Structure 1
Amino acid sequence: MLFGRAEPDHGRDAGWATFWANQRGPKWHLKLSGAAHDTFLDFAVLLRTRRHPSSASPPEEVAKAAGTIDGRRATEVVRTYVNAYFDQHLRHRHTRLLYGLSAPYPEVTFPAPHP
């Protein structure tokens, strides 16, 4: 499963395409609206939780690094989909979450075909 940001990133997309083409078995490519590269790290949550005004980063710098999606929401979404993926492929528990859009998670799209 590849989980990335919704906007194209031509610097990374070529590597993802090569990786994708060489995978066997079921695969999912998901995109998260409002995400940036660092959304998928703890950085997205921690950056926005700093309390001291002198350590606060300007909002445009936060958005550039961690995206515009709330870090806690991004963490919830990613955990939910990763758990669903592992449930499906390790525990053999079918989940509808991996087969299309979900009302509770409108920020997730499926741009590439999946099994």
Structure 2
Amino acid sequence: MTGDWKRWLTVTGAEHMSFVDYAVLQPQLGLPAFPIDGERSIAITRAYVGAFLDLHLKGKRRPLLDGPSDGYPEVRFW
């Protein structure tokens, strides 16, 4: 791996707090929900962080990090 590897991703409908457990708990607490469903934001987080860790810690290439995915249409590569 070279030191210049990077990806810039955004998730449509997500806010900063969309990627923690708070996104799932917020509606249960009677607070307004985020534009993106909490369960969906956690699924996206797990998929992309898992792919990143597999690549950089295990040396396993993960196509999810190569570009847009039909399985995660809300994720945008810049």
> Paired residue for 1:26?
5
Aligned-residue RMSD, C-alpha? 1.3
Q: Structure 1 runs of 4+ off > 4 angstroms?
A: none
The total of aligned residue pairs comes to 76
Matched residues in 2 for 1:41 and 1:76: separation?
11
Letter in 2 for 1:44: A
- The alpha carbon displacement at 1:38 in A equals 1.1
> Paired residue for 1:100?
67
Matched residues in 1 for 2:4 and 2:53: separation?
14
> Paired residue for 1:77?
44
Identity of aligned residues (%): 41
Deviation by residue 1:72-100 (Cα, 9 ceiling, x = unmatched): 01000111000000101110111110010
Matched residues in 1 for 2:4 and 2:58: separation?
16
Matching of residues 38-57 of structure 1 within 5 Å: 38-50=17-29, 56-57=30-31
- The alpha carbon displacement at 1:45 in A equals 0.5
Q: Highest Rg: 1 or 2?
A: 1
Structure 2 unaligned blocks of 5 or more: none
- Of the three residues 31, 54, 60, the one matched with 1:87 is 54
- The alpha carbon displacement at 1:49 in A equals 2.5
Taking structure 1 as the reference length, what is the TM-score of the superposition? 0.61
User: Partner of 2:53: helix, strand, or coil?
Assistant: helix
- The alpha carbon displacement at 1:28 in A equals 1.4
Matched residues in 1 for 2:71 and 2:20: separation?
22
Matched residues in 2 for 1:70 and 1:30: separation?
18
